[in-house]
Structure 1
Amino acid sequence: MSAPVETEPQAASPQCPAHRSGDLFPLPGSSYRGPAPRYQELREQEPVVRVRTEGGVDAWLVTRYKDVRELSADPRLSRARACGPGAPRVGGTMHTTPEMIISLDSPEHSRLRKLVAGAFTLRRVERMRQGVQQVADQLLDDMQGRQGPVDLVQQLAVPLPLTVIGELLGVPAQDLRDFEKWARAFATVDDRAGGEESLQGLAKLSEYIVGLVADKRAAPADDMLSELIAARDNDDRLSEEELVTFGFTLIGAGFDTTANQLANSVLALLADHPGQWRWLAEDHSRIPRAVDELLRHVNLFATDTTGFPRIAAEDIEVGGVTIPKGDAVLLSLASANRDPAVFADPDRLDLDRARNPHISFGHGVHHCLGKHLGRMELEIALEGLLRRFPDLRLAVPESELPWHTGEINHTLTSLPVTWGEQA
């Protein structure tokens, strides 16, 4: 039996000029439901187009699946040049520090990735399944005991990946509450507040992780941080700074993105596709394929791109256009995931989609190291919700849901849900 077909609500198409330099990035109209409507026109008419960014500099915006995938793996596009001194400030994107793994080019990137990749293999992640299941069950037990309505963001979407990341790093149980507070502040980007809360979280986390690395070095335990401390390739190993920086990267990428993806996926189903929620509840074997479709369909990035600009290290020809050396390039994963050349009826949520080569985890050398863990957490969380709350529904009108502004991701502040006979 195929998943029920439901019509996807369409946002009104903005009136954007069609000429080559008329668009300001980020494009207006993006939401968790999908990328800005303008991307459809760009894929058809100008798949590689020069846009003006909020940072005041021009950048090339790439929108077709084929081009985005190829450029994601093209070594001529440099992440390091986009993060170094004097790099163009492309507004609406995430600015990472030069020493982070997502900011490096080869050979530095290859060296660091080789040292840490063993901690994220599918086999190792599968060994974690029972522990992740226990964390999810405890959170869902508490949720079920509250009898609704509850805030799914605070009850499940945030604490599940945060607890898992804390346990991965070997954070002692008595420190998890402070760890969660600092990590949440670190992952929150709010331009209106000047980033003060995020900086405070960064400072607290930095001090804590430095101490944690020292503790694990003195007394190794069965956790990923201890494994990374011990990891070596011949005589090479991670430096102290690299260990601390990787801890930050793991927190930002492994907690915040998973939390937002889970909350937005549940919202997409409950608000627009309640029939598909019930369809999943009928047969939980459908969940893995559904998770991949939700990863493709639900738009995580508020800018519709990876959030990480790149710089052309030499002239690059793509889509009939030459991108000159030194120019900034933005790759729209959200647009690529809606490309009709790859995905049949791409704007429809099809939880039974058989062929789904989405690139939500990126592609090439910078593809997400934690993709196996993120996918597993989403599967476990959705299975638990569907098993216990097959009649889950929003407790407030969707128009009343609060969204955090200034985020790189589409981030719900809260998601009140209820079930059973509650009003």
Structure 2
Amino acid sequence: MDSENKHYGLGTAISMIVGILVGSGIFFKADDILGFTGGNVGLSVLVFGIGAFCVIFGNITLSQLAARTDRRGGVLAYFEEFISDKAAAGFGWFQIFAYYPSISVVVSWVAGIYTTMLFGLPNNLELQTLIALGYLIFFFALNYFSLKMGGRFQNISTIMKLIPLIGIGLVGVFWKAPVPVTSETLIVPLDQVGWGWLAALPATAFSFDGWVVATSITHEVKDAKRNMPIALTVGPLIVLGVYLAYFLGMVAIVGPEYILQHRDNTIYEIGQILFGEQGGTLILSFILIAVLGVVNGLVLGVLRMPQSMATKGMLPKSDKIKVINDKTQLSPSAAVLSITISVGWMVIHYLTQKLGVLSGGDVSEIAIVFSYITYIWLYMKVFQLSKNKIIPLLGILGSIIIVTGGVVSNPTFVPLFLIACSIIFYSGYTYMKKA
């Protein structure tokens, strides 16, 4: 690429990576991480550190592939360029039929949870799911019919996302009041936690998810060979610092047992402690907008992925799916396919939560765990191409740690879901093989 097209310096690259990585997961996964570690704050901090480790070495490894190709499209392009178009189709099918829709559904559901809390509605799964479905349909319609409105909402939500994270972290540094008294002892002694803390890793992976997008800016960064490894190390470390500040700020204000007792409602209680009666409502409003911003961003990906793959002939009826509406600049067939899949995943998510088969986890974590399995394929390719074998080896190690944690979290149902994801991947692979 010509040097005039490389317009991002190191500082801009770091800020973009931080913006990509900071998600909504920290708001509703922090209590899960604390729960899986038995309420042990130090062990929870270690889990966050492992999550950052996986992101840093995964990012640096994939950036080596990004630097070797002019193709756009992130991981899909890396599969197409360095593995095969069949593997790219398999990965694309996984993203369309499992990854994007399952995460979109879960984040929409979380928005439903915060909505019931904010407006004092009945806090039951059925109403949460109904509200989630409404949000999902709304953002599909918003992004299909108005690209500008979807983009503006994304910018607003990004700012909203950082306010409670940084704010609670700063308050926690200076907080001196005693923590509230809880009605029962919920902290588990460290020797009784055993290896169960590994189950916290999928929740941590969710909090850092989206990191693979960061490598897509490699082509536009000046002196990318030097600056990108720095940016891909410093960026995740900044996010880790923000997440730990938020987490430790909550612990300082209310204590780990209070968080374990109140779970997702903790942030509302903290708002009331800090700012009085309306404080909980204020903080929840910020978080709800932040979470909805993530739903909006995911829907952007969900809408575009099918039409992108259809242009490569990677889907059945690609000729129909790739046809773009002149007014909306999006494919109507891709939109219908995407929302149909998402509604299907909403049903699956509802059933898994209702039946309690995922031990406090959710279907999105499984999709993220499977994505780490697919990354190993790319890390191995970097291992073959690169003189420096340590970075890809650490990337592979990070993936193995996350996958192990996923299986530990639920040895019965997680492997079944991973097999289902494998079938989806293989279906795309074989479709392209026959095409």
TM-score normalised to structure 1 length? 0.30
Q: Which has the higher helix share?
A: 2
Q: Which has the higher strand share?
A: 1
TM-score normalised to structure 2 length? 0.29
Where relative contact order (Cα < 8 A, 6+ residues apart) is larger, the structure is: 2
